Amino acid sequence: MEYLDTDPVRLSPDGKAVVYIDQRLLPHKTEHISVYKAEDMYNAIKTLAVRGAPCIGIFAAYCVYVISLYTADPALDSELESFCAYLDSSRPTAVNLSYALFEMKKVLSESRGLPAEIRRERLRRRAQEIHQSDIDSCERIAGFGLSLLKAGDGVITHCNAGALATSRLGTGLGPLLLAARKGIELHPYVDETRPLLQGARLTAFELKQAGLEPTLICDNMAAYVMSQGLVDAVMIGADRIAANGDTANKIGSSQLAIAAKYYGVPFYVLAPTSTVDKSCKTGRDIKIELREGDEIKKMFFEAPTAPEGVKCLNPAFDITDHTLITKIITENGIFSPKEL
């Protein structure tokens, strides 16, 4: 399966369900799941079967359309409003979720008074537009990002911001995947990204699928790799970017930025403009999702790695201060954090 041209979420062939790749099972098993019920859609996001901020947004848009198919005409507005609020509560940090739901509610509002079938068709069309927009954005982001690299560069990644997290090329991983497509040799160093191992399970998988040879490292090895002169750039994605350029991304991103600053390694954030949240003045305004401690103690281990009953703090994201970010790359170009 060619992951450079994979849509991790899409409509089913008959258009009556949303199909997604269950990312919890990768890299050992590729399974496509079809959902058409609200609870299954919510759980897909909550349990990280569907993950990656842009991917979540695309999934949410298709979900609104599919739910409309199973909603009686007179209840279309009230039921979809309730569904949007329900789905929006599944994960609080990634802005693309609320952005996509806002866009779908806007279609609903602007089509009031029209026949129900026309309204459903407009919802379908808007969801497909959101999807296509992400595909186009990823291509442009990858191109801008690749312009900052040269053949032979070492690049550290964190979490997964490739095709599985977005559409096709991805954001933070886009330059590497585009380089592979163009036959440009780069040397990826992949943070495993504890505790959910998105780097080890997903990023390393995607890079190998693309024909690159990634080197997997534990998160706490990044500073060592930089100190040895093996790294020329850090490239990550983002789940939400505040107006001042502070960036929320997978936990561990901030310490990676601090190490990069110390060793003089450029730190790049790659994300579509839909990830920029002007209502958040700074990173302090971004709500950080706290997840279950068992993800630290038990997930991916045959036996618990900590004593029974030990307390855990498991934030899913941290905030990278804008002063640690060299450039932010969107589909519109390369900017300093203050230029957003």
The count of other CB atoms within 10 Å of the CB of residue 110 is 11
Average pLDDT over residues 184-205: 97
pLDDT in tens, 267-291: 999 999 999 999 999 999 999 999 9
pLDDT in tens, 140-152: 999 999 999 999 9
Matching CATH number, 3-134, of 1.10.10.10, 3.40.50.300, 2.60.40.10, 1.20.120.420:
1.20.120.420
Burial class (CB in 10 A: 0-12, 13-18, 19+), 238: buried
* Confidence at 2, pLDDT banded by 50, 70, 90: very low
Q: Is the dihedral of CA 119, 124, 125, 130 positive or negative?
A: positive
Q: What is the mean pLDDT of the chain?
A: 95
* 340 vs 1, higher pLDDT: 340
* Confidence at 300, pLDDT banded by 50, 70, 90: confident
The predicted structure's pLDDT at residue 6? 65
Per the CB < 8 A criterion, the answer to whether 101 and 325 are in contact is no
pTM of the entire predicted model: 0.92
* pLDDT score of 208 more than 90: yes
Q: Where are the domains of the chain?
A: 3-134, 139-339
Let me know if 239 is a catalytic residue: yes
Q: What CA–CA distance (Å, rounded) separates 245 from 81?
A: 31
* pLDDT score of 339 more than 80: yes
Output the DSSP codes for 302-330. SS-SS-TT-----BSEEEE-GGG-SEEEE
pLDDT in tens, 20-66: 999 999 999 999 999 999 999 999 999 999 999 999 999 999 999 99
* pLDDT score of 4 more than 60: no
Closest CA to 197 of 288, 330, 84, 296: 296
Active-site option among 7, 191, 239, 277: 239
Fold of 139-339: Rossmann fold (3.40.50)
Q: Which of 1-15, 81-95, 202-216, 224-238 has the lowest mean pLDDT?
A: 1-15
Per the CB < 8 A criterion, the answer to whether 147 and 235 are in contact is no
